[in-house]
Amino acid sequence: GAGVSQSPSNKVTEKGKDVELRCDPISGHTALYWYRQSLGQGLEFLIYFQGNSAPDKSGLPSDRFSAERTGGSVSTLTIQRTQQEDSAVYLCASSPSPGIYEGYTFGSGTRLTVV
Amino acid sequence: EDQVTQSPEALRLQEGESSSLNCSYTVSGLRGLFWYRQDPGKGPEFLFTLYSAGEEKEKERLKATLTKKESFLHITAPKPEDSATYLCAVQGVGAGSYQLTFGKGTKLSVIP
């Protein structure tokens, strides 16, 4: 596609429920990143994919968070047993390869609200 | 640990009133410093990458500069459409995954 697509754009869920957030990167981009943007905070790195593998999961805040990527394309971020502190905008970005600094393109994000 | 501090948190300018945004950083070896623009409800939009001290880049009314400790985003004769949050980020040589460390941003409002 022309850009990074994320769905849903908004998600309201009850505390304790599981949620799945989806990211469709730009076609051909091998590197994919998930970030989280909480109110009043900077973007926080969550996880990085190179192809289908995740060499760096260091930013995942707890074992309730997991992510996968299939076919070197679509990625899903799953949050189990959601808590109120998980409320944030989850942003996905992709680039042609990890070292291409000028091609780091973000999607519009999924706004998650846990009530 | 890489750190980025942006100032001011918010800035109101009259249309045509030039100013600068500051980004101070600490990093164990700089791969690159990035400026992004973020509009409400949208993801960050890439503006510039700076790689070494002394480097400058320009785009329309924006000019980014870099020293060993900070970067400035200069806005010349801003227009209302320049209103947005401007984000600064760094990538250190220790970031093996090429992750970026972001500041909290400067919210710019340009008043007609």
**How many CA atoms within 13 Å lie on the side-chain side of B60?**
6
Chain B nearest CA to A8, separation (Å): 13
> What average pLDDT does the segment A80-109 reach?
89
Of A9, A1, A2, the closest CA to residue A108 belongs to A9
Phi, psi dihedral angles at B25 (to 5 degrees):
-140, 155
Domain ranges of chain B: 3-95
Nearest by CB to A98, from B98, B102, B103: name it. B98
pLDDT given at position A1: 53
Residues of chain A with Cβ-Cβ distance to B97 below 8 Å are 48, 55-56, 58, 98
Q: Is A53 on the interface with B (CB under 8 A)?
A: no
B97 pLDDT exceeds 70? no
Total domains present in chain A? 1
What domain range includes position A37? 5-106
Specify if A60 maps to a domain.
yes
A36 pLDDT exceeds 90? yes
Specify if A115 maps to a domain.
no
A80 pLDDT exceeds 60? yes
Specify if A111 maps to a domain.
no
pLDDT given at position B1: 84
Per-residue pLDDT tens over the stretch B50-69: 999 999 999 999 999 999 99
Q: Is A4 on the interface with B (CB under 8 A)?
A: yes
The structure tokens listed for B16 are: 């045509």
Architecture of domain B3-95: Sandwich (2.60)
Chain A nearest CA to B97, separation (Å): 6
Tell me the pLDDT band of A100, cut-offs 50, 70 and 90: low
Specify if A91 maps to a domain.
yes
A111 in Cβ contact with B55 (< 8 Å): no
b/e burial code for range A6-25 (CB count within 10 A of at least 16 → b): beeeebebeeeeebebebbb
Question: A84 in helix, strand or coil?
Answer: helix
A86 in Cβ contact with A110 (< 8 Å): no
Tell me the pLDDT band of A64, cut-offs 50, 70 and 90: very high
- Inter-chain CB proximity A42 and B46 less than 8 Å: no
